[in-house]
C-alpha cells in the first residue's frame, strides 16, 4: 500500500523535540527521512533519562521512528560536500540550530537554494530568524513562561504553572509539518522551493486562541482559573464520591440534560443559569450547587449517566489507565516494534488515520550513524572513501 509522502526525501538536521517530532510525522506519512548528527551522535535526547531500555533513552524513542541515521561533521569541507550532494537529491531540509549557525556553516537557505532551487528549507528556532530576540536560545520552558501560557495555567493559589509536556515544541513541530507540506504543494505549481521561518515563541502565542482574543477585545488581563473555563460554565473538574472528573457542557441543551440527570431540573430554569453568559456571570453561585450533587455518587456512576444522556464527561485517567483504554486500543494508538539493542519497544502511534495511504511504522528509532555507509554508497562514494572518512572521524 502506498503512502502519502512516498518519494519525498527529508534531510533532517534537527535534534531534541520540535524538529524531530515534525520529521517523525513526515516519516510516518511515508517520506524518506535522513537524520543527520555529528559523529558519535549529537541529539541531546539520546542521553535524557532515565528511563533507559538497554541504554536507549525513552525520550529519544518518542520522536525518532521511521528515519535513517547518518553522522557527518558539518564543519569539515568533506562534510559540507556530503550535505550538498544530499541537498541535490532532497526535497526538504530542516534544522533547529541557533540563528546564524547555518550561515557560518555555509548551509543557509540562500546557499542551498543555489544548489537545488526546488528545496523547501525549514528553520526552527526559539524566537525566529528576525527581531531583537533572534539570537537568544529558546527552550520550551522559557517559551511557556514568556508566551503567557504559564500566566494562565494553574490557579490563584498555585502560581504560574507549565504544562506537563513540552507543548511549545509539539506545537512548533506540527506547524512545521503544515508549512513543509504547504510549500511542497505550492512547488507543484511554481517549481520553486522556499524558506519557512518558524519560532517556538510565535507558535506558543498562536496557541493562546480564545484567551488571547479575550484580552485583545476586552483589555482585561486573564486570571488563572485552574480547571475552569474562561468562557463556558460548567466546564471544569468536579469531585465525585470516589475521585475527580471533568464535565464539559458546551451549550444550553447539554446543561438542561445535566440538571435532569442530577435530579436538579430547576437549576436549568433559574434565571441566573438559563444561558451560558448567565452561568458565566453566576459561576460562583452555580458551581457549589453542582458539586454538592456530584459528591453523592461515584465517577463510574456519573460516567454511565452522562454518556447515556449525551453530556460531555471524562474521568481523569492516569497514564497507566489510558494505555488500557479500549478506545485507544481500537485506534491502534500504542505500537510495538523490535530494536536491535533495546529489544521490544513500545511507542505512541500516529493519530493520522488516512483511508488509502495509512501511516506506517517501517523502522525503529535508529542508532547514530546506523545508515551512514548505506547513504554514502547511494551518493557514489567508494567503500575505501567511506572507510577513510570513518577512520578520520569525519562521519
Q: State pLDDT tens for residues 292-319.
A: 999 999 999 999 999 999 999 999 999 9
Cis peptide before 234 (omega within 30 of 0): yes
Q: What percent of the chain has pLDDT over 90?
A: 97
**DSSP alpha helix (H) spans, the chain:** 18-28, 58-61, 77-88, 101-105, 109-115, 140-146, 167-190, 200-206, 209-218, 252-261, 276-281, 283-294, 299-309, 319-322, 326-330, 372-378, 383-391
- Distance, CA of 11 to CA of 31 (rounded, Å): 10
b/e for 355-384, b at 16 or more Cβ within 10 A?
Answer: eeebbbbebbbbebbbbbbebbeeeebeee
Q: What percent of the chain has pLDDT over 70?
A: 100
pLDDT tens digits, 251-270:
999 999 999 999 999 999 99
- Distance, CA of 41 to CA of 46 (rounded, Å): 8
Asked if residues 69 and 366 have their Cβ atoms less than 8 Å apart, the reply is: yes
Q: What is the mean pLDDT of residues 51-63?
A: 97
Q: For residue 325, indicate whether it is catalytic.
A: no
- Distance, CA of 245 to CA of 253 (rounded, Å): 21
- Distance, CA of 355 to CA of 336 (rounded, Å): 22
Asked if residues 53 and 344 have their Cβ atoms less than 8 Å apart, the reply is: no
Report the mean per-residue pLDDT for the chain.
96
Strands 313-315 vs 334-339: parallel, antiparallel or unpaired: unpaired
Asked if residues 249 and 309 have their Cβ atoms less than 8 Å apart, the reply is: no
Q: What is the pLDDT of residue 393?
A: 83
Q: What is the pLDDT of residue 319?
A: 95
At 394, the pLDDT band (50, 70, 90 cuts) reads: confident
The pLDDT of residue 333 is above 80: yes
- Residue 219: how many other CB atoms lie within 10 Å: 7
User: pTM of the entire structure?
Assistant: 0.93
Q: What is the mean pLDDT of residues 212-219?
A: 96
At 246, the pLDDT band (50, 70, 90 cuts) reads: very high
At 391, the pLDDT band (50, 70, 90 cuts) reads: confident
Q: What is the pLDDT of residue 308?
A: 95
Q: How far is CA 33 from the centre of its chain?
A: 18
Q: DSSP per residue over 250-303, as a string?
A: -SHHHHHHHHHHTT-GGGGGSTTTSSHHHHHHTHHHHHHHHHHHHTTS-HHHHH
Q: What is the mean pLDDT of residues 97-110?
A: 96
- Distance, CA of 314 to CA of 331 (rounded, Å): 18
- Distance, CA of 124 to CA of 97 (rounded, Å): 8
Contacts of 213 (CB under 8 A, 6+ apart): none
The pLDDT of residue 241 is above 80: yes
- Distance, CA of 256 to CA of 267 (rounded, Å): 8
At 392, the pLDDT band (50, 70, 90 cuts) reads: confident
Q: What is the pLDDT of residue 376?
A: 96
Backbone angles phi, psi at 35, to 5 degrees: -85, 120
Q: What is the pLDDT of residue 301?
A: 97
- Distance, CA of 41 to CA of 347 (rounded, Å): 22
Helices (H) and strands (E) in the chain, counts: 17, 13
Asked if residues 281 and 230 have their Cβ atoms less than 8 Å apart, the reply is: no
Grid-cell match 503512502, residue found:
3
Q: What is the mean pLDDT of residues 271-287?
A: 97
10 Å CB burial of residue 351 (0-12, 13-18, 19+) is exposed
Q: What is the pLDDT of residue 328?
A: 97
Q: What is the pLDDT of residue 299?
A: 96
At 63, the pLDDT band (50, 70, 90 cuts) reads: very high
pLDDT tens digits, 125-169:
999 999 999 999 999 999 999 999 999 999 989 999 999 999 999
Q: What is the pLDDT of residue 156?
A: 87
Q: What is the pLDDT of residue 1?
A: 73
- Distance, CA of 320 to CA of 343 (rounded, Å): 21
pLDDT tens digits, 369-378:
999 999 999 9
* Residue in 108, 169, 307, 325 annotated catalytic: 169
Q: What is the pLDDT of residue 353?
A: 96
Q: What is the pLDDT of residue 33?
A: 98
Strands 9-13 vs 32-37: parallel, antiparallel or unpaired: parallel
- Distance, CA of 222 to CA of 224 (rounded, Å): 7
Amino acid at each position: 500500500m502506498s503512502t502519502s509522502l512516498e518519494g519525498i526525501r527529508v534531510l533532517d538536521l534537527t535534534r531534541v523535540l520540535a524538529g524531530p517530532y515534525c520529521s517523525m510525522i513526515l516519516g510516518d506519512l511515508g517520506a524518506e527521512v535522513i537524520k543527520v548528527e555529528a559523529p558519535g551522535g549529537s541529539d541531546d535526547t539520546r542521553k535524557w533519562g532515565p528511563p533507559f531500555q538497554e541504554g536507549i533513552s525513552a525520550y529519544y524513542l518518542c520522536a525518532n521512528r521511521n528515519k535513517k541515521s547518518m553522522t557527518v561533521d558539518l564543519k569539515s569541507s568533506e562534510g559540507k560536500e556530503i550535505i550538498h550532494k544530499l541537498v541535490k537529491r532532497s526535497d526538504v531540509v530542516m534544522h533547529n540550530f541557533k540563528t546564524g549557525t547555518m550561515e557560518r556553516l555555509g548551509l543557509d537557505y540562500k546557499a542551498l537554494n543555489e544548489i537545488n532551487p526546488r528545496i523547501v528549507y525549514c528553520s526552527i528556532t526559539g524566537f525566529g530568524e528576525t527581531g531583537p530576540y533572534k539570537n537568544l536560545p529558546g527552550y520550551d520552558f522559557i517559551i511557556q513562561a514568556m508566551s503567557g501560557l504559564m500566566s494562565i495555567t494553574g490557579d490563584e493559589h498555585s502560581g504560574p504553572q507549565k504544562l506537563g509536556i513540552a507543548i511549545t515544541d509539539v506545537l512548533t513541530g506540527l506547524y512545521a509539518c503544515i508549512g513543509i507540506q504547504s510549500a511542497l504543494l505550492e512547488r507543484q505549481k511554481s517549481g520553486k522551493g522556499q524558506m519557512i521561518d518558524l519560532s517556538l515563541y510565535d507558535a506558543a502565542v498562536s496557541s493562546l486562541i480564545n484567551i488571547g482574543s479575550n484580552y485583545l477585545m476586552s483589555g482585561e488581563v486573564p486570571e488563572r482559573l485552574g480547571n475552569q473555563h474562561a468562557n463556558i460554565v460548567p466546564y471544569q473538574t468536579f469531585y465525585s464520591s470516589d475521585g475527580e472528573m471533568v464535565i464539559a457542557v458546551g451549550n444550553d441543551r447539554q446543561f438542561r440534560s445535566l440538571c435532569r440527570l442530577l435530579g436538579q431540573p430547576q437549576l436549568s430554569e433559574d434565571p441566573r443559569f438559563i444561558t451560558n453568559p448567565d452561568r458565566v456571570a453566576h459561576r460562583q453561585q452555580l458551581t457549589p450547587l453542582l458539586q454538592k450533587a456530584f459528591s453523592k455518587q461515584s465517577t463510574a456512576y456519573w460516567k454511565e449517566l452522562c454518556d447515556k444522556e449525551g453530556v460531555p464527561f471524562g474521568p481523569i485517567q492516569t497514564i497507566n489507565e489510558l494505555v488500557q483504554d479500549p478506545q485507544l486500543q481500537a485506534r491502534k494508538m500504542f505500537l510495538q516494534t523490535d530494536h536491535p539493542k533495546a529489544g521490544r519497544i513500545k511507542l505512541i502511534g500516529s493519530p493520522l488515520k488516512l483511508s488509502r495511504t495509512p501511516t506506517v511504522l517501517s523502522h525503529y528509532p535508529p542508532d547514530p550513524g546506523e545508515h551512514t555507509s548505506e547513504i554514502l554508497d547511494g551518493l557514489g562514494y567508494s567503500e575505501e572513501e567511506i572507510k577513510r572518512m570513518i577512520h578520520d572521524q569525519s562521519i
